[in-house]
Amino acid sequence: MRTMVGIVGGGPAGLLLSHLLHLQGIDSVVLEARGREELEAEIRAGVLEHGTTELLVETGVGDRMRKEGAVHHGVNLQFDGRRERIDLEGLTGKTITLYGQHEVVKDLIRTRLDAGGEVLFRAKGLGLQDLESEEPKVRFVKGDEEYELRCDFVVGTDGFHGVSREAFPEGARAEYGRRYPFGWFGILVEGPPSTEELIYALHERGFALVSTRSPEIQRLYFQCDPDDDASNWSDDRIWTEMHARLDTDDGWTVNEGKIIQKNVVQMRSFVCEPMRHGRLFLAGDAAHIVPPTGAKGMNLAVADVRVLSRGLAEFYRSGSTGVLDNYSEICLKRVWKASRFSWWMTSMLHRFDGDNAFQYRMQVAELDYVTGSRAAATSLAENYVGLPMEWREDPEAIARTTEGMDA
């Protein structure tokens, strides 16, 4: 098999990259280990930054998101028995959109298949070869047959446990990260919403989050032991914990409903440097992971492939490798800032092992400052709605990477 760009991983990063390349007349093949039904049924949260929603709309895959997604103009921070709102739009002129990651995946799959795109489901990557040559190769298995995909470039969007990052030669990459001593216990609930906008809560018992998916489906989380098992929690025990952490002194209470899903989410921060070796580029979770507190995971993946698609378009249009050569540097500036923000939000809102009353009061004081200072609230809001891509602020870079591009 032969294509221009081989993409290992059919999640939002790989599918969006394939779509962006298609708009520039660049062929690609997407290899995804899971089946389409499995991929589309994997329910994942989705807080989309302002720039992410703009890109989806501009490139023709945002129609259903605009109809069904919930635009939020602010978020709430709850602590010390009270709730304070951060006015995202008032402070930045931008909003966020709640639209599940799995819904984005559905839209992208349909768009790629309708356009005749090659998305090979149940195609498991086995390994990458000749990454420093002009024709790198991807070995994969589909059914009982093993295949080889030859291409000009390979992009690894196959997540933390995929084969792409492991294809870097020994000593060619550095990895930074930490595991957090807690996880999130998540539930999906059939019932009326408890709030119109997200609630991030600090409580002496630990963190909690209320997120509205739709008028009928709600998503709620609370901090838990990362090694806990969802089967250990009865519905009554879950609602008792939710009420303890979320009900406020003014009489507000979280709405209950039928729990249709329970799971425990692990928490980690991880960054791989560089995000390129030879003609292999990493994007999304294959290169970096952030705790979900800052709502940055999918948005970072979108930012990666946005840069990469422009670099590849520049290469095929003029032969220039300017953006591709600087891909890691461009993306990692944003990755590290998003990692900092996610770490800060996590540290401010969670109880750590060995925390004492002093540490808790420090967290309350920080939340009181953030919600009481316009400057501090603006800093949170700017990061939450999405920082600008600094490379796009360079007029020469913009002209070099956007000339003649349809999108």
Residues paired with 289 in a beta bridge:
270
Pick the catalytic residue from 99, 180, 200, 327.
200
Active site residue 388: no
Query: Strands of 118-121's sheet, edge to edge?
Result: 118-121, 28-32, 5-8, 153-156, 280-282, 276-277
Pick the catalytic residue from 72, 94, 102, 203.
72
Active site residue 200: yes
Residue 158 CB partners (closer than 8 Å, separation 6+): 8, 9, 14, 33, 125, 164, 286
Active site residue 296: yes
Active site residue 50: no
Pick the catalytic residue from 99, 292, 327, 350.
292
What is the C-alpha to C-alpha distance for residues 106 and 65, in angstroms, rounded to an integer?
A: 11
Quick one: three-class SS letters along the chain?
Answer: CECCEEEECCCHHHHHHHHHHHHCCCCEEEEECCCHHHHHHCCCCCEECHHHHHHHHHCCCCHHHHHHCEEECCEEEEECCEEEEECHHHHHCCCEEECCHHHHHHHHHHHHHHCCCEEEECEEEEEEECCCCCCCEEEEEECCEEEEEECCEEEECCCCCCCCHHHCCCCCCEEEEEECCCEEEEEEEECCCCCCCCEEECCCCCCEEEEECCCCEEEEEEEECCCCCHHHCCHHHHHHHHHHHHCCCCCCCCCCCEEEEEEEECCEEEEEECCEECCEEECHHHCEECCHHHCCHHHHHHHHHHHHHHHHHHHHHHCCCHHHHCHHHHHHHHHHHHHHHHHHHHHHHCCCCCCCHHHHHHHHHHHHHHHHCHHHHHHHHHHHHCCCCHHHHCHHHHHHHHCCCCC
Pick the catalytic residue from 180, 221, 327, 384.
384
Both tokens of 148, joined, read 């080889």
Pick the catalytic residue from 19, 94, 277, 296.
296
Active site residue 369: no
Q: Which residues are catalytic?
A: 72, 200, 292, 296, 384
